Structure 1
C-alpha cells in the first residue's frame, strides 16, 4: 500500500440529496412540463373530462402548451439558421479519427463507434487503457509533432480509408502557477492543446473537402478557455485559442464547404484522470461531468450530421454571459464558485496512477 498522498478520494455520498443538482432539476423539467408533447397532454386530459374550452384551467393549459411549442419551433429555426442543413451520415462509410483516444472521453467515444460498426483510428502517445477494442485501430502518435501527424495520416488512409470525422480531444494539464512553469512545459501545453488542432485539421481537412459526404470536425475545449483559472494559465490560453479557431474555421467552411460540419464542446470539470484531484466547491450549481454524458452529446451531433455547440453542465451553456457582468461582480462570482482554488488539490494523471497502484482508487 502506497503512503497516503495530500489528496485522497472523497468519501461516498451519504445523504439522499447529494446527487441532486441544478442540471438534474432542469433535465426533469425539460422532459416533463417544458416538453411540447407533455404540455399538450394536459389540455387533452381536461378535454377527456368533458371540460369546456372556455374553462380557466383549460385556457391556461392551452396557452402554456402553445408557448412551449412556439419556443421549441423557434429553437429549431434558430439552429437551422445558425448551422444550416445537416449532412447525411452512414456509419459504415465513416472513418473517425480521435486524438487522445487512449483514455477518458476519447476512449469512450472510440469504443462506442467501434461497437456500432464505424471505422475508428485512435491517435495517442499512451497505449490504450483497455488494450484492443472492436473496430478501433490504435496509432502511436504525438499530435504535437506535425511530422508524426502527417505520417500517421498516410497510414490511416492506406489502412482504413479516407477520414470523414476528426475529433480533436488530446490535451495535457500541468496544473502549476505561471512562475513555476518552465518554458518547455508552456510550449508543450500550447503544442498539444492548440497547435495540434492546426496540425490535424490542416492534414485531414483536404480529404473532407474532396469527399462527397463531407465531414465533421469536433473541437474539445473547456469553460476554462472562457473564464480562466489560477494554476491553469497555459491550459486556459490554449483552450481560448481553440475556441477562436473553431469560430473562425466554422465561418470559413460555412462559406466554402457547407457540407463540412463543426462541433464545439466546452465542458466543465470532467470526471477523468486529466483533472484528477480537482475539487468542485459547489456540486449543486457546478457538478462534475461524467464523460458518458458528454460522449452522448458528441455522438448525437455526429450521428445527426449537425453543427452545434455543446456545453455541460448547465452553467457551461451560459458561461459567455459571465463576461457581461460588472468586473467587481465577476470577482464575487469567482470567489463563490471557488474557480481559483480548485487546482490546489490537483493530482492529474500521474497522481491517479499512483493512487491506483496503491489501492486508493479503482475504475481508471
Structure 2
C-alpha cells in the first residue's frame, strides 16, 4: 500500500500492530545529540538578534496602524452584546459589516443602524454551529458582498444561559457553538483571504482560558479549545507562507457587562462580584486596536498582557487555590 495514500480509516480498519521497540541510544550518540541541540540554540540566538533589535525599535517607534476602511468584516453573534459593539467600531472605521446571528430581529436592527456610518451593512440568520448552514452562508455572503477580509468569531454560549450545563445535549451544544463553529467559519472564509492575500481572523476566547473555574468546566474547556485552535492556526498560516497576509488575534476578556440576567447573577456571588467588569464598548475598542496593529493576543483590559496571565498557570496549585478560594467555594450560578 502506498504510504502517502493511507487514510485514518484504512489504519483503523486494520488489526493493531505494535511498532518496533525503541533501540537504546549509546552514550556517545546521546552526547552528539545534545551537542547538536546546543549548536542549534546558538545559531537560533544569533539569527534572532535582528528580531530583538526590531522589537526594541518598534517599542519606541511603533509602525503605523494598518488601514481597514472599505474592507468587509463578518461578525458571528453580532446582533447583541460584544458582537454588536465590535460591529459598531468596525463601521466607524469604514468597514462594511456583515452581521451573522440566530437573533434575526436584532441582527436586522443592528445592520440598519450601522448604515448611519455610511457603510454597507448586511444581516444573515445562521446557526454557525451547523456546518452546512455556514457553507451556505459563505456562498450567500460572497454573492451579496464579496470576499470577507475580517472574520470575527464571537458567537458563544455561557454556562449561565443553559438550563442544565451538565446535560449531554447542552454540553454538545456549547462545544459546537463555542469551539466547532470557529472551525467551520475559518474553513469557509480563509480560502478567500489567502486568494486575495489579505485577511484577519479574530476569536473571542476568555480570560478563563488561563484561569480555569471549576464550576464552569464545560465553558472553560471550550475557551481553552479556542485558544489552542488559534495558536495552531497562526502557526499553520506561517508554515503555509500566508502569515504576512493573513493575521490572527485571540481576545481574552475578563467579565464583560452584557446580558442583564447574567450580570445580576454574577453580582449576587460573593467572589465573582468582586471581579473587575468591562463594557462591550471597551472590549470592542480593544479588538479594533488589536486588528489595526496585528496583535496576536490581547487581553481585556489591554493593560494586561497574555504572557502575564500565563504565569498563573505555573503557580503551585495550593497557592493558586488560595488566590481564587472565594470563587471556587461558591456553587454554580443558576439564573432565576
Choose the corresponding residue for 1:328, options 318, 322, 325: 318
Gaps in structure 1 of 5+ consecutive residues? 1-72, 352-364
Instruction: Give 1:221's match in structure 2, choosing from 194, 205, 228.
Output: 205
Structure 2 residue corresponding to 1:200, chosen from 168, 185, 194: 185
Tell me which of 276, 295, 304 is aligned to 1:307.
295
State the partner residue of 2:67. 89
Counterpart of 2:285? 296
Output the CA distance in 1 between the equivalents of 2:82 and 2:253: 11
Asked if the contact 2:250/2:297 (under 8 Å) is kept, the reply is yes
Aligned-partner SS, 1:170:
coil
In the aligned structure 1, how far is the partner of 2:208 from the partner of 2:180?
Answer: 18
1:261 is aligned, of 247, 253, 261, to 247
Tell whether 2:140 aligns with 1:155: yes
Are 1:177 and 1:230, in contact at CA under 8 Å, matched by a contact in 2? no
CA-based RMSD? 3.1
Deviation at 1:252, TM superposition (A): 1.3
Is the 2:207–2:254 contact (alpha carbons within 8 Å) kept by the matching residues of 1?
A: yes
1:347-362 to structure 2, matched below 5 A, reads: 347=335
Residues 37-96 of structure 1, C-alpha deviation per residue, up to 9 Å, x if partnerless? xxxxxxxxxxxxxxxxxxxxxxxxxxxxxxxxxxxx979707979xxx89953411x110
Q: Aligned residue for 1:57?
A: none
User: Aligned-pair distance for 1:186?
Assistant: 0.4
Relative to 1, partners in 2 of residues 1:154 and 1:78: Cα closer, same or farther, differing over 3 Å? farther
Please report the TM-score for the alignment, with normalisation by the length of structure 1.
Answer: 0.66
* Aligned-pair CA distance for 1:109: 1.3
Counterpart of 1:210 (choices 195, 208, 213) is 195
In the alignment, what sits opposite 1:250?
234
Check whether the contact 1:278–1:342 (CA below 8 A) recurs between aligned residues.
Answer: no
Unaligned runs of 5+ in 2: 1-50
Greater displacement, 195-204 / 221-230: 221-230
Q: Tell me the TM-score normalised to structure 2 length.
A: 0.71
Deviation at 1:176, TM superposition (A): 8.5
**Which whole-Å CA distance do the structure 2 matches of 1:246 and 1:163 have between them?**
18
Q: Structure 1 residues 235 and 247 mapped into 2: Cα distance closer, same or farther (>3 Å)?
A: same
Look up the SS of the partner of 1:257 in the other structure.
coil
Deviation (angstroms), 1:112: 2.6
Deviates more, 1:119-128 or 1:106-115: 106-115
Q: Name the structure, 1 or 2, with higher relative contact order (CA <8 Å, separation 6+).
A: 1
Relative to structure 1, is the Cα distance of residues 309 and 86 closer, same or farther in structure 2, using a 3 angstrom cutoff?
A: farther
For the 8 Å contact 2:215–2:328, the answer to whether it is kept is no
Closer/same/farther in 2, CA of residues 178 and 225 from structure 1, 3 Å limit: farther
Provide the rounded CA distance (Å) in 2 between the counterparts of 1:193 and 1:233.
13
Q: Does 1:230 align with 2:214?
A: yes
Number of residue-to-residue matches in the alignment: 268
Deviations 1:225-275 (A, max 9, x none): 222213312111110000000111111112320211110100111111184
